[in-house]
Amino acid sequence: MTVNKSIYYNYTYMKELKVAIEAAQESSKILNKYFERNLKIERKVDQSPVTIADRESENKIVSTIKKYFPDHNFLGEEFTYEKTESKFKWIIDPLDMTRNFIKGIPFFSNFIALEKNSKLIVGVISMPAMNILTHAELGEGSFVNGKKVKVSDIKDISEAYVVFGDVDEKGTRPYAKQFHDLINACEHNRGYGDALGYILLAQGHVDVAWDRPKPWDIAAPKIIIEEAGGKVTDFNGNDNIYSDSSIATNGKLHNQAIEILKNRRQQSTSRKRNMTV
């Protein structure tokens, strides 16, 4: 996974982007080292799996970044960090799709994003088993393996291709009906989910992505998709990575997707009113 240095030569945040790419590549070496090995699996409080690969990857990402930016803040999936006065915050998922990783499925990645004053300015996704490196910097576009990408031109949701992650009760509650309404409104659907789905969206191969993410699951994909011309909000249409919901589109379909999701809010409000009568 090599990147043509000239594509970010004049970037405002050139150093930050280069450091993010370096951290992603160092993390990828660790993930490749442990991939398809019989690892001990532990369970977090929410019963999601975690391995030595998750923890070593996050440690490597943070230590790499701290070499250059020792005073920056960090928000990671596996560890907590002391808050500083810096206006910069790195948001890290050291191993997205741990379950795929454990099962020997190559659809896993790391996510690294950087906020400045709560505004995303850099995002990197590395899928080491698939040799894919994606990056974006605010105002400079999105790139997959050095090639600039853009979202699709689909304008009607009935012609759209939608991708998604978990669709069990935990993954869709309390939006199960709206999830199925969205799936049925689109022409095609597939459960690629997470990194691969977001990259395909940025490349224009799919048009909509549904998720119920934590901040580290959506920060890097958000800036990558938006720099490719798309849009990412929560289900309420708010520009918020700290919600528990995310709808990503090519931008042209965003209002249509949000309208479908609004049905849940309208129905929920109606039920509450009926209960108080």
Model pLDDT, residue 273? 43
> Under a CB-based contact definition with an 8 Å cutoff, are residues 127 and 1 in contact?
no
Count the Cβ atoms, other than its own, within 10 Å of residue 15: 12
Q: Report CA 124 to chain centroid distance, whole Å.
A: 10
Model pLDDT, residue 159? 98
Euclidean distance between the first and final Cα of the chain, in Å?
A: 61
Find all residues with CB under 8 Å of 104, minimum gap 6, and list them.
35, 36
Domain parsing of the chain, residue ranges: 12-140, 157-276
Structure tokens belonging to residue 209 = 């992505």
Model pLDDT, residue 194? 87
CATH class of residue range 12-140:
alpha beta
> Under a CB-based contact definition with an 8 Å cutoff, are residues 161 and 215 in contact?
no
Whole-number Å distance between alpha carbons of 68 and 178: 44
Q: What residue ranges of the chain have pLDDT lower than 50?
A: 1-2, 6, 8, 265, 267-277
Structure tokens belonging to residue 138 = 């605010």
Model pLDDT, residue 239? 96
CATH number of 157-276: 3.40.190.80
Amino acid letter for position 271: R
Model pLDDT, residue 173? 73
Model pLDDT, residue 21? 98
Model pLDDT, residue 86? 98
Model pLDDT, residue 169? 66
Whole-number Å distance between alpha carbons of 95 and 184: 31
What SS3 class is residue 66? helix
